[in-house]
Structure 1
Amino acid sequence: MTKTYEHILCDVADGIMQITLNRPDKLNAYTAIMGAELADAFDAADTDDAVRVVLVTGAGRGFCAGADMSAGAGAFDTTSSEGSAAFGDVSKGGRSGGSGMVGAVYECRKPSIAAFNGSAVGVGLTLTLPMDIRIAASTAKFGFVFARRGLVPEAGSAWFLPRLVGISQALRWCLDGALFSAEEALTGGLVSEVTAPEDLLPRARAIARSIADNTAPVSVALTRQMLWRMAEDASPYDTLKVDGRLAMALGTGPDVREGVSAFLEKRPPAFKGKVSADMPAGYPWWPR
């Protein structure tokens, strides 16, 4: 599947959907159109059984320089045509319940990987926080720069960031708003690894390939939602009610039989379960 967009590229091959932020002359600065296109691509990934993993990177030398501020001081004023171009609502609905790009990424049942080929600042960084794995080229720079622009963290980042890196680190980065290096991002837990620039995409694709080749699609979809949604439960008891029920439901199905057989026979698994049709009873377990 290949679809034509205005501000992103999107291609699916061998189970991997690669999304490339594609405004290289503007360091891939974010626009409302880009946000709507990201939402559309993630919604498509969610329902397409040919997609096992979504990989997001940037064209050229930057990942995303943040919001497009070419309109000048009014770039964030959404009552004006200039501000609306950056942050106005140009979405056409979708399965994320009106929460736009952030909701589309968060609700997607396919795992996602952000590969920072260059600087990611402001919304160019927060748009990746609902993604599951982040790796960076050693030359990448990062910044939660909102306080230096008179703004607050957006795109749900005040919820996502402390869950990823802890409240102390989130406060340190957001209250100061300074740029920081890929090594600091690694130490702080924002990214899981740092590579040489030329190794970034091969490494990201290797991670995606490992997921696509070795895991059951339904298991991954459930696991992703369990980890995101249960991490803040006050006790393990609500989680136990859900994971026990899901484990029993999956245990009677063909994917578990295939997974065990493949392990015992020392061969790659061939899982047949489809996210579009085979999610077990009890999913979703949260109110919708």
Structure 2
Amino acid sequence: MSFSQLTYEVDGQVAVISLNRPERMNALTQVLENELRDAIEQADADLAVRAIVLTGKGKAFCAGMDMDELEVLPPDDIQRRDWMRPYDMNRRADYQTRYSYFPASNKPIISAINGAAAGLGLVMALYSDFRLASEKAVFATAFAKRGLIAEHGIAWILPRVVGHANAIDLLLTSRKIDAAEAREMGLVGRVLPPDQLMPAAMALAAVLATEVSPRSVQVMKRQLWEAPYQELGDAISDANREMFLSIQSDDFREGVAHFIERRPARFTGK
């Protein structure tokens, strides 16, 4: 599949998706939105890919929606059915929407936030499984400064990541925060010098691709994203079912064998 507003490369077992509108700070267009979903679905369907790294070309991660498109956006665009196409019928419907589909991917998604992540750029980062940031990264919700509201479930996910007090601050004021403050409030997991961001993201992706069971990663990612909807008893019952299946898997047998034999793992995901 070819793309016009992003680049897609596979490095070993890692798919690297780079938003590629640097002259517009990688602001989203409808073309880029569609291409991004297609790229993640392509990586998800590729059995050779075990992790996904998402970043931006140039100085920004993603500055949100392109203002030229936002200015003429029809009010009913948000409800278009083609934005809501199912991603994975085995996942919650909550994770099938316009931006919330990242958790429906079976592969872990690492956002390498190289610069500005504002508005929808921040939303995408929040729906990722890992967030690594450059020291030059800045973050803002931006919605209140545009006369908009907390879009695409950010009012649900942001407090779960940074707590209610930080979430209401970031949403209502739309103020910018730097990478250090983002790390302090738990918005990102690590902050790195700019030249170390992609190597660190690729190193993390390599660990996920080669050192741990892709089957385990897939199941645990689903458990973590579904847990907010579950009572403790439901989460335990789910874990018990998955444990029963995992003990019968090839990856479990390999997990024991490579430890006993003191050799690198050769997980198949089965």
Superposition TM-score, scaled by structure 1 size? 0.85
Q: Which of 246, 260, 263 does residue 259 from structure 2 map onto?
A: 263
SS in 2 for 1:42: helix
Q: Which residue of 2 aligns with 1:285?
A: none
**For the Cα contact (< 8 Å) 1:43–1:104, is it kept in 2?**
no
Unpaired segments of 5 or more residues in structure 2? none
Identity %: 35
Cα shift readout 1:109-145 (whole Å, capped 9, x = no counterpart): 1000000111111111112211100010001110011
Residue type of the partner of 2:246? L
**For the Cα contact (< 8 Å) 2:16–2:53, is it kept in 1?**
yes
Residue type of the partner of 1:46? D
SS in 2 for 1:34: helix
Q: Which residue of 2 aligns with 1:165?
A: 162
Q: Quote the Cα distance in structure 2 between the aligned partners of 1:231 and 1:27.
A: 33
Q: Quote the Cα distance in structure 2 between the aligned partners of 1:87 and 1:255.
A: 42
Cα shift readout 1:2-55 (whole Å, capped 9, x = no counterpart): x32121111122110100000011111111111111111112222221110010
Q: Quote the Cα distance in structure 1 between the aligned partners of 2:100 and 2:120.
A: 15
Residue type of the partner of 1:246? E
The 1:150–1:37 alpha-carbon spacing in structure 2 relative to 1, beyond 3 Å, is same
SS in 1 for 2:263: coil
Q: Quote the Cα distance in structure 1 between the aligned partners of 2:75 and 2:164.
A: 33
Q: Which residue of 2 aligns with 1:279?
A: none
Cα shift readout 1:139-158 (whole Å, capped 9, x = no counterpart): 11100111111101212211
**For the Cα contact (< 8 Å) 1:40–1:94, is it kept in 2?**
no
Superposed CA RMSD = 2.2
Q: Which of 95, 104, 109 does residue 87 from structure 2 map onto?
A: 95
Q: Which residue of 2 aligns with 1:251?
A: 247
Q: Quote the Cα distance in structure 2 between the aligned partners of 1:229 and 1:198.
A: 35
Identify which range, 183-192 or 162-171, moves more after superposition.
162-171
Q: How many residues align?
A: 265
Q: Quote the Cα distance in structure 2 between the aligned partners of 1:154 and 1:92.
A: 15
**For the Cα contact (< 8 Å) 2:86–2:96, is it kept in 1?**
no
Q: Which has the higher helix share?
A: 2
Identify which range, 158-167 or 236-245, moves more after superposition.
158-167
Q: Which of 170, 176, 179 does residue 179 from structure 1 map onto?
A: 176
Structure 1 segments of 4+ aligned residues over 3 angstroms from their partners:
86-94, 96-101
Q: Which residue of 2 aligns with 1:107?
A: 104
**For the Cα contact (< 8 Å) 1:32–1:90, is it kept in 2?**
no
Q: Quote the Cα distance in structure 2 between the aligned partners of 1:100 and 1:32.
A: 15
Q: How big is the shift at 1:93?
A: 4.2
Say yes or no: does 1:211 pair with 2:208: yes
**For the Cα contact (< 8 Å) 2:100–2:152, is it kept in 1?**
no
Q: Which residue of 2 aligns with 1:237?
A: 233
